[in-house]
Amino acid sequence: MIWLRDMTPGDKDKIRSWRNLSEVSKYMYTDHTISPEEHEAWFNRVNRDPSCKYWIIVSDDQDIGLAWIFGIDQRNLRCYWGFYLGTQNVRGKGAGSFVEYSVLRYVFDELKLNKLCGEVLAFNQAVVDMHRGFGFSQEGYFRQHVFKGGTMHDVVCIGMLREDWHARRPEIENRLRAKGLIS
């Protein structure tokens, strides 16, 4: 069973270790090793910031990754989001789909926002395709937007509106029920 729980102070070191894994950082905007001091400052900042929310992804009682929304803008009814899996052995088993569904439900059904946005490094085609499968539209393409590993990389900008979510939700839920990811 996969679920999301609120991030707690006890998760701080685990998150830093995940973030410093090469299989995680290669898909993030930054790829330097995050020091304990840098991570402490980030952790304290996000815990005080009302415009973001962080969850630990749990599978079979094991913490496996991090999901978050940020830039929550109540005036314009939108926010951004992201997630990563810090445990290799769960990839390809539906955790990403469950997280995406859970974040969509939270943003549109609980926060009542109108739009969820995201940015994905263009070479991460599997994640771009996953988002499209949930109904996200490509809304932009930033050429040579992020410098990583000595190279400039493009970024795909995605977005979903609440009306898109409500139109796609029954099909998404049927698909996830068939895979045993939701009941």
Per-residue pLDDT tens listing for the chain (183 residues): 899 999 999 999 999 999 999 999 999 998 899 999 999 999 999 999 999 999 999 999 999 999 999 999 999 999 999 999 998 777 777 999 999 999 999 999 999 999 999 999 999 999 999 999 999 999 999 999 999 999 999 999 999 999 999 999 999 999 999 999 999
Number of domains in the chain: 1
Q: pTM of the prediction?
A: 0.95
pLDDT score of 117: 98
- Domain contains 183: no
Q: What is the pLDDT of residue 39?
A: 98
Q: Assess if residue 162 is contained within a domain.
A: yes
* 167 occurs within a structural domain: yes
- CATH number of 26's domain: 3.40.630.30
Q: Is residue 112 part of a domain?
A: yes
Q: Classify residue 155: in a domain, yes or no.
A: yes
**So what's the pLDDT on residue 89?**
75
Instruction: Tell me which residue range forms the domain holding 146.
Output: 2-178
What SS3 string covers the chain? CEEEEECCHHHHHHHHHHHCCHHHHCCCCCCCCCCHHHHHHHHHHHHHCCCCEEEEEEECCEEEEEEEEEEEECCCCEEEEEEEECCHHHCCCCHHHHHHHHHHHHHHHHCCCCEEEEEEECCCHHHHHHHHHHCCEEEEEEEEEEEECCEEEEEEEEEEEHHHHHHHHHHHHHHHHHCCCCC
Q: Is residue 123 part of a domain?
A: yes
| pLDDT computed for residue 114 by the predictor | 98
The answer to whether position 136 is within a domain reads yes
Does residue 8 form part of some domain? yes
